[in-house]
Amino acid sequence: MVDFAQARRTMVDSQVRPSDVTDLRLIAAMLDVPREQFVPAARRAIAYLDMDVPVDGQGGRALLKPMVLAKLLQAAGVGEGDRVLDVGCATGYSAAVLARLAGEVVALEEDVALARIAGETLAASGVANLSVVSGPLHDGWQRNAPYDVIVLEGASEVVPAALLAQLKDGGRLVAVIGSGPMGKATLYRAAGGRATGQTLFDASAPLLPGFARPAAFVF
């Protein structure tokens, strides 16, 4: 029988804190949210390992590695009054963490089954400042824009222009840009109608639907 509370503390102490994550609000949120509840029952034993944990039957969607998620959220600088768009929320773990940091969270998921799981799990946890919506990930969620922070819960091979357009002036978007082991965690800041990117650290993450680089035309 796994002691999930101990596993959660070990995750923070061995993966998150040693990775220069010092935001005490973020650390408290990750200690508070039961990650195992957002993982299929057959995979709960690996919920706190240093890996992207698959959450769908095809293996394409996963919860980000705890270290990668923590470093992205710290870089985003989520404030207590911020409106956040969580793109590709999957089963809702990241949204639950964000809800403890922000004023309002919109959790976007295009996979109907995952969106249903996220909605049910988050509702059962009693989170009040969060809504789960369904639609194409690459389109974002214009209805609640603009956002202070946008988080991509996976990799993108292209600059997410449609999402950057939904940031407030001064807003931040964090994502893993690139696929495979060559990915780079990147922070974009919006100012004066433009967004500039800053590479943060090497990272890998599963590619999100709709964010693949278009295939090159070959004669």
Q: Which CATH number characterizes residue 102's domain?
A: 3.40.50.150
Which residues, 6+ apart, have CB-to-CB distance to 199 below 8 Å? 184, 185, 186
pLDDT tens readout for residues 23-39: 999 999 999 999 999 99
Q: Is residue 210 part of a domain?
A: no
Q: Residue 43 is part of which domain span? A: 4-202
Q: Is residue 217 part of a domain?
A: no
Mean pLDDT of 144-151: 98
Rounded to the nearest integer, the mean pLDDT of the chain is 95
Closest by alpha carbon to 80, among 95, 104, 101? 101
Q: Is residue 211 part of a domain?
A: no
Query: Is 89 within 8 Å of 153 (Cβ atoms)?
Result: yes
How many domains are there within the chain? 1
pTM score above 0.85: yes
The model's confidence at residue 179, banded by pLDDT at 50, 70 and 90, is: confident
- Of the two residues 22 and 2, the one the predictor is more confident about is 22
- 57: pLDDT strictly greater than 90: no
Q: Is residue 212 part of a domain?
A: no
Largest CA distance in the chain: 58
Please state, in angstroms and rounded to a whole number, the distance separating the CA atoms of residues 134 and 123: 16
Q: Is residue 180 part of a domain?
A: yes
